[in-house]
Structure 1
Amino acid sequence: MGKTVFIDFDGTYAHNGVIPAAHVEAVRRAQRNGHRVLLCTGRPKALVAADDVAVFDGLVAAAGGYVEVDGQVLADRRFPAYLAARIVELLEAYRGVYILEGPDAAYVTPAARQRLIDLLTTGEHAASFGEAADGILAPLLITDDPAAESFAKVTCFDLLVPAARLATELAPEIGVVPSSIGSLGDKAGEFFLAEVNKSVGIAVVERHFGLDRADIVAIGDSHNDLEMVAYAGTGVAIEGGVPELLALADLVVPTPEQAGLVVAFERLGLIDSPVRAA
């Protein structure tokens, strides 16, 4: 077997929810060449279209908390009940606009849903989401009792206070990374169990297949990709990604709008470069 490649979704495989056809074809070409390619996303499985997942050899979702390969669930880490209740209590106290994300469903309260619609589709940040807004909003389920739901991660789009401040009230059991949508500012962020990150999910796949870490490739663009890019034998960052990630990467490639994954796969020898006329 060749390399095993883990690809972030938003900002790496897709731009504003739009997946370039060249990226899909690059994945299929790499697979035909004997490489495994897995999606490794901060999104929960519930917020990734089944057709998009089907392209890949497996899924690492919820920023490493959920792992599925060949229909087999290898990991499914969720907030214990007492932490779920605590974070919901604080999110409500700070008037958060948030989504509770599990593999089977993503939940939002009635009040938060309306504020989320306004934020994603009509507010100053609407351009940052584009077609991705529909992919986020359409699958959401309404809950009147958020603390009772089962979830692995919380994405918060707006708070009265910086997300980092709320995280200090949940430490050390819950951590936070800044939102991948930079325009949302410091009052947005992604909350997850502190011991979970994408490299943890990759390690599950590594053990499952008996991989050599030198044969692992990780490609991403944002804060929640730092651990996996550092963990992989080869780390790849997307141009314009967060500075910390660019500093870690062995290779930097263009954005999805410029079919950056095709460039990455060619430069890593996963697919052949097209023959260009002299």
Structure 2
Amino acid sequence: MSVAMNDGARAAFLDVDGTYADHGTVPTAHAEAVRDARRAGHKVLLCTGRPESMLPAPILEAGFDGVVAAAGAWVRLDGEVLTDLRFPDDLATRVRHVLDAHDIAYLLETPDALYGPVGVDARLERRGEAAPPEILDVLQMPGDLAAVRYAKISYFDSPVPIAALRAELGPEVGILPSSYADTGDNAGEIHLAGVHKAVGMATVAEHLGISVAQVVGIGDGYNDVEMLAYAGTAVAVEGAPSAVLAEADFVIPGPAGDGIAKAFARLGMVGPA
């Protein structure tokens, strides 16, 4: 059932890493801007490639109307789950077998937890820096991953370049460079073909009964291209890849420059909608 919004209200979708937060730290101005925009009658949602299980509690609990997670495969709005897409069983098994055959480290992402092969925690540690707690705190390594129904995969330590892995896995999936860390061609994110952030955003817009013109998208990574292309108002963060900047109506500073607060002010979202 759709939830009516007035004609002046907007729904803003915020990427997390490098847009709303910087390495998990949220500027005070960003938290205040979200609070003020919601108080004015706008909807504000996180829109991330991460599964919801990997979002730090302080960010989730800061106050949002919902989450588009797993790059569009999971949508929660006002406490209701609207979308929960997982890899079909046959495809899920085939993808895991290809990754195992190449000895690629990977994390199977679900809304409730991350799952990985036994020893993937040690491989995370061997990357030269401590594995982030948002991964380790929700990581499970049950040994047998056959029963895990996942929405997306993050992988690293791949001897196979992204283009070659994409060709081997076939058209049922898409692969993007990792949005979590700058790890070059040996890390990436595998998602169902045709599932991306804009798919989740469209689900929210339909549920709210709003037009695309009322949708704001703000992001900085490769997995934000479709988000910005879909949004009525597209906002990119300085330093984003050229494909992201090409979709933007305007550009804002990153978290250190309070970019979200500046975008909301420019769009008139911090006053009555």
Tell me the TM-score range normalised by the shorter chain: over 0.9
SS at match of 2:182: helix
Q: Deviations over 1:119-176 (max 9, x none)?
A: 2xxx1xx4xxx8x812222211112112321100000122011123112112210101
After superposition, the Cα gap between the structure-2 partners of 1:185 and 1:115, relative to the gap in structure 1 and judged at 3 Å, is same
Q: Name the structure 2 match of 1:34.
A: 41
Q: Give RMSD over aligned pairs.
A: 1.5
Q: Name the structure 2 match of 1:276.
A: none
TM norm structure 2 = 0.92
Q: 1:90 aligns with which of 70, 92, 98?
A: 98
The Cα shift of 1:69 comes to 1.0
Q: Greater RCO between the two (CA within 8 Å, min separation 6)?
A: 2
Q: 1:60 aligns with which of 63, 68, 80?
A: 68
| Corresponding letter in the other structure for 2:193 | A
Q: Name the structure 1 match of 2:133.
A: 134
Q: Name the structure 1 match of 2:193.
A: 194
After superposition, the Cα gap between the structure-2 partners of 1:143 and 1:167, relative to the gap in structure 1 and judged at 3 Å, is farther
Structure 1 CA distance, aligned partners of 2:23 and 2:59?
A: 14
Where do 1:57-136 residues align within 5 Å?
A: 57-119=65-127, 123=128, 126=129, 133-136=132-135
* 8 Å Cα contact 2:49/2:72 also seen in 1: yes
Q: Name the structure 2 match of 1:206.
A: 205
Q: Unmatched 5+ residue regions in structure 1?
A: 273-278
Structure 2 CA distance, aligned partners of 1:193 and 1:181?
A: 18
TM norm structure 1 = 0.91
Q: Deviations over 1:240-274 (max 9, x none)?
A: 111111011001000112211111111111126xx
Which 4+ residue blocks in structure 1 deviate beyond 4 angstroms? none
Structure 1 CA distance, aligned partners of 2:232 and 2:188?
A: 28
Q: Deviations over 1:25-73 (max 9, x none)?
A: 1100111111110011100011113442231101100000000112211
1:15 is aligned to 2:29? no
| Corresponding letter in the other structure for 2:13 | F
Q: Deviations over 1:218-237 (max 9, x none)?
A: 00000100001000100000
The Cα shift of 1:112 comes to 1.5
Q: Unmatched 5+ residue regions in structure 2?
A: 1-5
* 8 Å Cα contact 2:43/2:65 also seen in 1: yes
SS at match of 1:31: helix
* 8 Å Cα contact 2:236/2:250 also seen in 1: yes
SS at match of 1:60: strand
The Cα shift of 1:181 comes to 4.6
After superposition, the Cα gap between the structure-2 partners of 1:182 and 1:99, relative to the gap in structure 1 and judged at 3 Å, is closer
Q: Deviations over 1:83-120 (max 9, x none)?
A: 1111111111111121100111111122212101222x
| Corresponding letter in the other structure for 2:124 | L
> Which protein has the bigger helix share?
1
Structure 2 CA distance, aligned partners of 1:60 and 1:18?
A: 20
Where do 1:249-264 residues align within 5 Å?
A: 249-264=248-263
